[in-house]
Amino acid sequence: MIFIHPIMGIFVGLCLSFVTAQVVGLLILFDMPIDMVTFVVLSMAIGFEIEYVVHIAHAFMRTTGTGVERLRTCLRSMGYTVFWAFASTAVQSLLFLIVARSQTFKTFSLVLVIVVVLGGFAGFSFVPSTLAAVVDLTARSEKS
């Protein structure tokens, strides 16, 4: 059974690629080396990105109506859960970063905070708004 439309899968993959590129760009901007700790956190954090983005995209695909109606419905049904998932993970990582003494734990926490915030933003705001715009533009072009 296919859970997501193939075009939606491509869109989600592109969104995840953009988030990962942003994370790597911020790591370069912060002059953080891509060492073993960073690589492990990035590998693990891709799961967070997938969780946030796919849950919202799946909820959007399961609804009907115009793009804005689908956006509202998907955020009502899944937005609260996704928001608190990334907010709680970010707060936990920030607390861990504050009390960390070791450079390894600082790196781990900082990379995790970056990934969670960017992935949460993508899943909570970028994905549903982009999908709503695409649905509305498609509906307008079909009417003309």
List, in sequence order, every beta strand (DSSP E) within the chain.
none
Residue 81 tokens read as: 């859960």
Query: With contact defined as beta carbons under 8 Å apart, do 101 and 37 qualify?
Result: no
pLDDT number for residue 4: 64
Q: Which of 60, 20, 63 is nearest to 44 (CA)?
A: 20
d(C-alpha 97, C-alpha 73), whole Å = 36
pLDDT of residue 2: 54
**Per-10-residue mean pLDDT, the chain, length 144:** 70 88 91 86 83 87 89 90 87 86 86 87 87 86 75
> What are the phi and psi torsion angles at 102 (to 5°)?
-80, 145
Structure pTM? 0.82
